[in-house]
């Protein structure tokens, strides 16, 4: 799926919103959102580190619960200036481990890293996994959720140096290389985050 399927572009009159606010400490996530939405005439701004440090991530097995809680906290820190504001939570779900690390992927990456996860999976034949992202956005006084998912598998070894997180060990379905080897341009067309952003954009188009 691409923006062409949504029939929007920089000259499109289909919606009046021209700016969104993405609250994230991950510069890679912010860049992905900016690159995807810019062709639709939407700019995406980040927020100061001071704001980000005030948001406490809840411990929950649900990405939707986490994103909703983070958004609620964020909204309490801003005066309502009419700019649609969104947060996102994502995770790597490994089938053989019942979906772990899932919502705890950031912690797993900071403690195990890609090499540690590969080591723990040594000998496992079932290497199926998927990335999932859930966006929570405040628009016109309501909270909307958008999901995106990409299926794939865990590589036998680390491969590639682009992207971030577990990109060097995740092979998208239908490919033979990892996200990190396929490169940022591939990921920004096909990732779980892109698919969630596509759903977000559909809502903005429908609202007009």
Catalytic site positions: 89
User: Which two three-digit tokens encode residue 61?
Assistant: 């097995």
- Report how far residue 181's alpha carbon sits from residue 169's, in angstroms, rounded to the nearest whole number: 9
- Report how far residue 16's alpha carbon sits from residue 126's, in angstroms, rounded to the nearest whole number: 47
- Report how far residue 61's alpha carbon sits from residue 131's, in angstroms, rounded to the nearest whole number: 15
Strand partners, 136: 87, 145
* Angle made by CA atoms 87, 152, 4, in degrees to the nearest 5: 60
DSSP sequence for 95-137: GGGTT-EETTHHHHHHHTHHHHHHHHTTT-S--EEEEEEEEEE
- Report how far residue 183's alpha carbon sits from residue 170's, in angstroms, rounded to the nearest whole number: 12
CA nearest to 150, candidates 201, 198, 87 = 198
Q: Coil, helix or strand for 44?
A: strand
- Report how far residue 10's alpha carbon sits from residue 198's, in angstroms, rounded to the nearest whole number: 16
């Amino acid at each position: 799926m691409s923006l062409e399927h949504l029939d929007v572009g920089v000259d499109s009159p289909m919606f009046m919103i021209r700016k969104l606010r993405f609250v994230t400490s991950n510069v890679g996530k912010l860049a992905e959102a900016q690159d995807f939405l810019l062709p639709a005439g939407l700019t995406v701004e980040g927020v100061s580190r001071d704001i980000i440090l005030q948001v406490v991530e809840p411990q929950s097995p649900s990405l939707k619960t986490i994103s909703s809680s983070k958004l609620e906290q964020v909204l309490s820190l801003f005066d309502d200036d009419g700019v649609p504001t969104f947060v996102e939570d994502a995770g790597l779900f490994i089938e053989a481990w019942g979906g772990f690390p899932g919502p705890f992927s950031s912690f797993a990456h900071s403690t195990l890293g890609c090499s540690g996860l590969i080591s723990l999976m040594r000998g496992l034949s079932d290497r199926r996994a998927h990335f999932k992202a859930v966006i929570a956005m405040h628009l016109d006084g309501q909270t909307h959720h958008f999901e995106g998912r990409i299926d794939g598998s865990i590589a036998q070894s680390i491969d590639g140096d682009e992207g971030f997180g577990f990109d060097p060990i995740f092979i998208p379905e239908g490919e033979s290389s990892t996200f990190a080897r396929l490169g940022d341009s591939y990921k920004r067309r096909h990732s779980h985050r892109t698919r969630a952003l596509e759903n977000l954009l559909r809502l903005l188009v429908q609202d007009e």
